[in-house]
Structure 1
Amino acid sequence: MRTDGLYDVVAGAMSIDPEIAKASARAELIDEDRIYTDFRVMAEREAAREDRIDAVVIATPPQLHFEVASAFMEKGIDVICEKPLSRDLGEAQRLNDLVKQHNRLFLLTHCYTGYPMVREARAMVASGALGKIQCIEGELCAGFVADPQNPDRHWRFRESAMGKGVLLGEVGSHAHHIVSYITGLRIEEVSAEMTTFAEGREVYDNAYLTARFEGGARGRLWGSYVATGNDHGLSFRIFGEKGSLTWVQEEPEVLWFKPPGKPAVRLARGYSSLSPAATAATRFTAGHPEGYALAFANLYADFAKALIAKRLDLPYQSYLDGIPGIADGVDTMALIDAAVRSNEKGGAWTTLTR
């Protein structure tokens, strides 16, 4: 948030524990009269201030996103929200309605779209470098060791967060969003198989999704907590008539383009020959690695520019075009809803409802 000098943290309700909320806010040097222990009170009081906050960051588990986002949007405050968008599709659709009703700006922090080489991949697909997209593969397959004697505490392992399919919200949402972001294609139908491998786990911890995309492309998504030995596991492969693209989050500086019958081309961050989208997201010259935190920073910077432009009654949509918003969140929640229904029907092809 602070990387580009476009924000300052001036208020906050930073924990469900009042003492932690106060201590955390003081550590951020927040004035005592802007330290809150209830987000409802924060929304009410900040909206009444002449120096009110411009946007709120929601970093709670997903079952609270709807309630918190609604409270601030109804007070005329723009929203930056962690993914997944909400507990379920119904909440996502209602949030979408509220964004339109209150004319609010909304950023969904799918942080990996802030990487320069992910934006380069998107630009290459849009330019026609791959031709018609045919096959799409995305995955985020991590290995979380389960201990039956000590049940998992993180919300990603709690059925109360999003139901048994919470896996698709926590890790599956990244795999889905990144391939949709790059290709511009939405999933129309899905066939899903979800499994719980770890003893004592409340939720599914592995999901294989086969997908039919609009335009005729076909794809596969894999989300997992039991890919033993994997540290993170986000990657994509996009195949078109003229070539393919491959990117791995743990080696984010490099995007591979492979045309048919020719050597693979290694595209690296930091060169002026890249697209304007990739160049604008780059801070350091080639050979000086950027990383995860700056990918987040790119989303925050683009959103800040949109906020400033809107306040000045200037065109601002261009700043939002390259970052995830409310529609992306609804789309992922529609996929999760359809995948859960498909799994319950033994993997039957299921149409997404948006």
Structure 2
Amino acid sequence: MPSISRKGQQMPESPIRKLVPYAEKAKKSGIKVIHLNIGQPDIKTPEIALQAVKNNTLEVLEYSRTEGTDEYRTKLAAYYKKRDISVTASDIIVTTGGSEALSFAMGSIADAGDEIIIPEPFYANYNGFATASGLKVIPVVSSIEQNFGLPPVSEFEKLIGPKTRAILICNPGNPTGYLYTVEEIQKLASLAKEHDLFLVADEVYREFAYDGKQHYSILQEPGLEKHAIVVDSVSKRYSMCGARIGCLVSRNPEIVQTALKFAQARLSPPTFAQIASEAALDTPQSYFDAVITEYVSRRDLLIAELEKIDQVVVARPQGAFYCMAELPIEDADHFAQWLLEHFQKDGETVMVAPAAGFYATEGLGKNQIRIAYVLEKPVLKRAVAILGEALKTYPGA
């Protein structure tokens, strides 16, 4: 019998999606599942984006240019300029979601066996992208006690070796919600320049910065032109996860030209989704102001309710819409499955994301979960109450 590739065997499961069969089974048995596990906002997509698709006059749904339409990339460059990021359309490659941008970035800067340093916990799919590219993730541990702030630069320097090609951060962070300060970005920039590394930043949650804080992009840092690569997406910004439109942005022409070759292999990003994404760039600031107000309100309620549960430790997110919580349990994977298979309160249960899948270091995050506060406040409050009742009866508590 033909054998599966080692790469395929090593490809990690999504810690978010692997529990879906248990959730589906619970729903079929009549239990309502409240989804705290996935970052699918319930915020409405801007009407301007939806209307752009509904009212288009295309007669042939053609390929677009490999790098995305000129019109969309030009408007994207203008969007960045408004945020003090000076780039041109030629610095941008439109991708099929931020995921493809990350894959293109890894393929462009590293070869099989090379290493990339990532502060953990991190977006679980970074492990998958690295495995697919044959790269080794070298984690730098951040802690819930320090609110998942940037570890000391000395911890990064200890891990830099001959195979190190890049440092990758997510800002604001998924799953932590941590927002890097200007000083922290500058420290990473100095490190990248000193050791001749690339600095890759996943900035898809840029708009969601709270408590009066401002997002600082690596593309705003002077002198980093040859090192900086930004991954971006419309999924969260405009509540357009299904559009699958993202982009790779760099002022290093070698990076752009190399990534373009990877892009050519998949021909072009989807046309209708680019039409919607281009229109979405005209979304007024009032939309984001309202969304940020809502997310801050949800965050505050979520943290307040979680802190009422005995022995639960909660990090305070400063951006994005995720919260990490440490529970008085030994195995969050087992707990998450148990919630779906064996627990319900008044016909409802909750689905959470076990945090071990957001770490590369074996054994870390085993008693942590990620909660996405993308649901309305009454639902969030009810979900945390269910979680608290579950912890009282869970045999592994």
Q: TM-score when scaled to structure 2?
A: 0.26
Q: TM-score when scaled to structure 1?
A: 0.28
Q: Which has the higher contact order (CA 8 A, sep 6+)?
A: 2
